[in-house]
Structure 1
Amino acid sequence: MADAFMDLASSVVLVFATVSAADKNPQHYPAGKQRFETAAIVVFSCIMGSLSVELIIEGAKALMEGEHETDINATNLSCIAFAVGVKSLLYIYCYALRQYPTAMILAQDHRNDVILNVTGVVLSLVGQYSIWYADPLEEFSLRSGFYSTGERLHSFIGQAASRVFLNRITFIAMTHDVDIQLVDTVRAYSSGAGYFVEVDIVMDPNTPLHKAHDIAESLQNKIERLDDVERAFVHIDYEATHTPEHSY
C-alpha cells in the first residue's frame, strides 16, 4: 500500500514539474524553467529512497519476530500479474520517449517495479512453501530510490561534459565558417537537463562587425539545435594569446 501511494505521489511531482517547465515565463524566468524537471527528479528519488529505508526497517522487524505465515492466493497473484503487465506497457511507452528526462526516470521506475514485483512474488511463494524468512528478505530489495539522485545533483553543480561531446562542439565550430581562424576555448557544463556551452573563436581583426556578428550568431543557433544543449554562448576575439576572460 505504501509503495503504491508513494509511486502515485512521486509521479504527481514529476508531472507537475513537467507542466511547470513547459509553461514559459520570460519575465520571471528569463533562462527558462527546465531545471524544474531536474529538481523534481531529485525530489522523486528522495521520496522513493525514503520508502526503501522504511521497507528495509519493516523487513528487519519481520526477521526479528521470527517465523510467520505467508498467505499468497490466486487473487493476489492475479492483481500482481495485472500490475506487472501495466507497468511493462508503461515502461515501453516511457522508454520510447527517453529523450525527455522525466520520461526516462519514469521508465527506470517502471522497469524496477516490474523486476521487484516478480522477485517479491517468487520470494513470497518460497516463504509460504519452503523457507519462511525468504518473504521478509524481499523488503531488502533495492527499490527505485537514490539511483539517480547523485547523477541529477551533478547537473546542478555544473559538471563538465564528456570529451566526446566537447570534441563534437569543437568540430562544429571549426567547420562552421572559413572566416573562423581558430577555436580558442570550448566549455560545456551541465545545467539542469541540458548543457550550457561556451565557445571562444578567433577571427581576423579587420572582419566587419556585421559579418562577425552574423557568423557568431549562426554558430550559436547551430549549437543550440543539438538535443543536449540548453544554451550556447559564442565569444569573438581577434587573437588567442590573452588571459582567459573568466577564471574558475
Structure 2
Amino acid sequence: MPRLGVILQDEHALRAARPARPDPSDEAGDEAGDPVELVALRSTLLNPPRAAAARALAEQVRSVHPNAVLVPYVWHLVSHAASDGLREAGTRTLPGEARRFGHLQDTPEVQSAWDVSLRCAREMGADTVILRTPPSFTPGTVNQARLAAFAEARAAEGLHVVWELDGLWEPATTLALARKLSIDTLVPAYEGTGRPVPQSYEHRWLRVDAAGATERLRGALAESLVFALANADALEDTTILFSGARAHANLRAFVRALDAAEL
C-alpha cells in the first residue's frame, strides 16, 4: 500500500479527520480512523511557529494522527522573493532588505530564515521538510546550483528535502536533479481533466488537490490513479498527499478504491 498523508493549511483542518482508535475493531468499517501516515504542515510556509507553539501544534496533530510523521514547509523567506506575494500574507518576519531574502540565495538573511525553519522542524521532531518554490524560481544554472547547495546543506543536518516546484521546470530536469541530489519532488497526481499525469514515479511524491476535477475524488478518479500506479509497479513505494478542504475525505475515497481493486 502506498504511504498516504494530508497537507494541512492549518490545525483547523484536523476537524475533518477521523481520529485513530487505540484498538480499532474489524467491524469499525468506514468509521475507523483515517490511515494517515504523514502530515505536511503548509502553515509553516507563511508563519513558522516558535518553539513552544511548534511543540503544541505537533502534539495537536499527533492527538488525531498518532502514527503520522510530521513534515513542515520551509519558510517563504528562504524560498520566495518579495515579488511572489507571500510576505503580505504572513505575520512573522525578519530584519533585512527584502531583496536579500528568498530564492535560496547565499545571504545571511536567508540563513537566518532557514535557522527559524530548522528550529521549527526540530521542535516537531521532523526529519523531512518540504521546499516550495514559486514560478519566479526559474530553471537555469544559478537556481539549480542554489537548489543543490540547499539540499546538500540539509543532508548535512540530517534532513531530507522534498521539493514542491512550480513553473517551467521540465519533468526530465527535475528527475535528474532529484536523482543527483537524493531528494524527492512533490508533483500533481492528476491533470486538470482528472486523468492521472503520465509520468515516472521515481523520486516523486504525488499531490491530490481538492480542486477542479478532483475536488471530490469520486470512485472512477481514485481507481484510475490506483491502476496507473499499479501498472508502473509503483503502488507500494509511492507517497500520496491529499490537500485542500476535502483532504481527509479524498484520502478515504482513495483507500476505498485501493481496497476494491484487491491488488
Question: Structures share a fold, TM > 0.5?
Answer: no
TM-score grouping bracket, smaller chain normalisation? under 0.3
Return the TM-score normalized by structure 1. Answer: 0.26
Question: When you count helix as a share of all residues, which structure comes out higher?
Answer: 1
Q: TM-score, with normalisation over the residues of structure 2?
A: 0.25
More RCO (CA 8 Å, sep 6+):
2
